[in-house]
Amino acid sequence: MGQPIVLESSQHVYAFAPEMTPAGFADSGAIVLFKTADAFNGQITSPDDTLAELNFDAVNPATGPLHVKNAQPGDILAVDILHMSTGTTGIILTVPGSGVLRAMTDAVTRIVKIGAHWIQFSDQVRIAKQPMMGVIGVATKEQRIPTGTPGRHGGNMDTRDIAAGATLYLPVFQEGGLLAMGDAHAAMGDGEVSGTGVECTSETLVRVRVLKNQSLDWPWLDNQKERMVIVSAESLDDATGEATEQMVRHLAQALDKGLDEAYMLMSSAGSLRISQVVDPLVTVRATIPRLYLD
């Protein structure tokens, strides 16, 4: 194995769009190191720095995009997340008018130390470190979508399972796929209710693979235990409905069973989980243990 291709955090975008200028090129099967800035691009370094107004066009720098050779519209780009290391400083924020508790008026910034296995949340409380990538996606079909917004192209899905050991499958809409990622979190709870996880820089090693002629409606993810579809929509009702339908149709096809059978299996063994409810669209994942697919 040769040296990985390296994309520096200075090579970043603030939107996914149909036309994007590649920051690098790779063959299918290549290993690539993405160095990512934190979601605020280094602007917040002390508790005195707050974001009174969060402009979703000017945060969430995503390193890339990477052009993967031979990725064509209608293919899948598989991203094997091999390893994630984080910076040693984390940022946690509350933002007035943002998050689930929108009436909470204080803008509070906490800077925390990220160790090898733990985040020192307070003098008394440590949180287990579970690095994940908040923003990861590809060039869009038609729209210019800020990196703060999730969608069919991926983007700001803020899904805890997008972590080392997982494979994320993204639909390819443009030649080369044009993969970019950023907004790493050293840890994040489902929902991301205040609007941030433990925001940090990262060095994330991935393998990119092109799967020819296999289209997807939404991003899918496999980890050791589960398969899931990650759906973003205006409302939780819309997102749960679409995620459930996607998974039920997938189960019916994969198991060669009727929709009723697949629906009952999803209802008995699958789960719906909230990824985040604080971005311009909300994100829900429908999951099924992989043992039912074997």
Give min distance, CB of 293 to Ca ion, in A.
29
- Of the candidates 167, 164, 169, which has an alpha carbon nearest to the alpha carbon of residue 203? 164
- Binding-site member from 112, 114, 119, 158 for Ca ion (CB under 5 A): 158
Residue 156 interacting with Ca ion (CB under 5 A): yes
Residue 134 interacting with Ca ion (CB under 5 A): yes
Residue 183 interacting with Ca ion (CB under 5 A): yes
SS3 92: strand
Rounded to whole angstroms, how far apart are CA atoms 28 and 41? 29
The residue (of 161 and 183) whose beta carbon lies closer to Ca ion is 183
Give min distance, CB of 171 to Ca ion, in A.
20
The residue (of 134 and 219) whose beta carbon lies closer to Ca ion is 134
Residue 242 interacting with Ca ion (CB under 5 A): no
Rounded to whole angstroms, how far apart are CA atoms 294 and 276? 30
Q: What Cα–Cα distance (Å) separates residue 192 from each residue in 8, 27, 70, 156, 236?
A: 27, 35, 36, 12, 14
Residue 155 interacting with Ca ion (CB under 5 A): no
Rounded to whole angstroms, how far apart are CA atoms 186 and 87? 9
Give min distance, CB of 183 to Ca ion, in A.
4
Both tokens assigned to 211: 């799967």
The residue (of 64 and 134) whose beta carbon lies closer to Ca ion is 134
Give min distance, CB of 175 to Ca ion, in A.
27
The residue (of 28 and 275) whose beta carbon lies closer to Ca ion is 275
Q: Which helix (H) or strand (E) holds 233?
A: strand 226-233
Chain residues in the site for Ca ion (CB under 5 A): 134, 156, 158, 183
